[in-house]
Amino acid sequence: MAQRAILLNEQDDVATALTQLIQGEYVSVSIGERQVDVTLLDEVPFGHKYALRDIAAGEDVRKYGLPIGQALQDVKAGSWVHVHNCRSERFGHRHQKYGVHA
């Protein structure tokens, strides 16, 4: 079976869809020693992210091992993560917290 999603760093809170993913679909991703299996709560478009764990409102969301934003609301594992529930930190506190090269 073809890989449906990818996990980019062992510390990540999200995985990225390599194809259109369907609500209710069971998806497994792994990297190194870490494997995460979730049932999707939402449809996830190609190239978009879904949560690998429950993320509390205000908590950093990690991809590439670094924060890419903050959860705007509680996000359940298997939920689509996008602008409706995650505020981008592309040029925000991430650089202050982790340095200008983060």
Residue spans per domain, the chain: 5-98
- Identify whether the C-beta of residue 7 lies closer than 8 Å to the C-beta of residue 36: yes
User: What is the pLDDT at residue 73?
Assistant: 96
Residue range 4-61, pLDDT digits in tens: 999 999 999 999 999 999 999 999 999 999 999 999 999 999 999 999 999 999 999 9
- Identify whether the C-beta of residue 29 lies closer than 8 Å to the C-beta of residue 52: yes
DSSP state of 21: B
User: What is the pLDDT at residue 2?
Assistant: 82
Fold (CATH) for 5-98: 2.30.130
Phi, psi angles (nearest 5°) of residue 100: -70, -15
pLDDT confidence bin for 102, thresholds 50/70/90: low
DSSP 3-state of 95: helix
Q: Cα 78 to the chain's mean position, in Å?
A: 9
Distance CA 60, CA 2 (A): 30
User: What is the pLDDT at residue 30?
Assistant: 96
User: Once rounded to an integer, what is the mean pLDDT over residues 72-78?
Assistant: 97
pLDDT confidence bin for 97, thresholds 50/70/90: low
